[in-house]
Amino acid sequence: MATVTTQHAVPAQMIADETRPFLVGLHYDTADPLAVRVVFPAEAALDGVETSWFFARELLAAGVDRPTGTGAVRLWPRGEGTVFLELQAPEGVAVVDLSAVAVREFLRETYALLPTEAEAATSEVGIERELAELLHRS
């Protein structure tokens, strides 16, 4: 199966004393079917370096409609137009306001590439391939 990817630039802003809008990148790759990657541009990061966070596509989908997540990544809707994404790191906690419309559109596109029912089969094939490669090296 060929790897297919999609990405969207999503309007966002950090919830802080001083807010300024920026675009985050939402990325999905069928080679890693259970995950999405959120890329924060350098201008949105404390250290001025582009930063990526990986978490479950299922978590992002749930967070558009209801509070979800434990640990380092949490999401919850706020009204019709906003999804809050909270990220916890050793440096502190960031809360990001994302466009719910853009997140939903991104998710629709990812499910068109690989429906939920196909995730397990794709993951199992990848795991079996990696295991075979490891055993072959031994």
The percent of residues in the chain predicted with pLDDT above 90, rounded, is 58
Query: Domains in the chain, ordered, with CATH?
Result: 5-137 (2.30.31.20)
Predicted confidence (pLDDT) at residue 123 exceeds the cutoff of 60: no
Distance (Å, rounded) from C-alpha 43 to C-alpha 23?
Answer: 10
The percent of residues in the chain predicted with pLDDT above 70, rounded, is 86
pLDDT at res. 29: 94
For all residues of the chain together, what is the average pLDDT? 87
* Three-state SS annotation for the chain: CCCCEEEEEEEEEECCCCCCEEEEEEEEECCCCCEEEEEECHHHCCCCCCEEEEEEHHHHHHHHHCCECCCCEEEEEECCCEEEEEEEECCEEEEEEEEHHHHHHHHHHHHHHCCHHHHHHHHHHHHHHHHHHHHHHC
pLDDT at res. 117: 81
pLDDT at res. 23: 94
Which residues lie below 8 Å from residue 58, measured CB to CB, with a gap of 6+? 34, 116
Task: Please say whether the beta carbons of 41 and 24 come within 8 A.
Answer: yes
Distance (Å, rounded) from C-alpha 121 to C-alpha 11?
Answer: 33
Predicted confidence (pLDDT) at residue 130 exceeds the cutoff of 70: no
Q: How confident is the model at residue 128 (pLDDT cuts 50, 70, 90)?
A: low
Tens-digit pLDDT profile for residues 8-67: 899 899 888 777 899 999 999 999 999 999 999 998 887 889 999 999 999 999 999 999
Tens-digit pLDDT profile for residues 69-95: 989 999 999 988 999 999 999 888 999
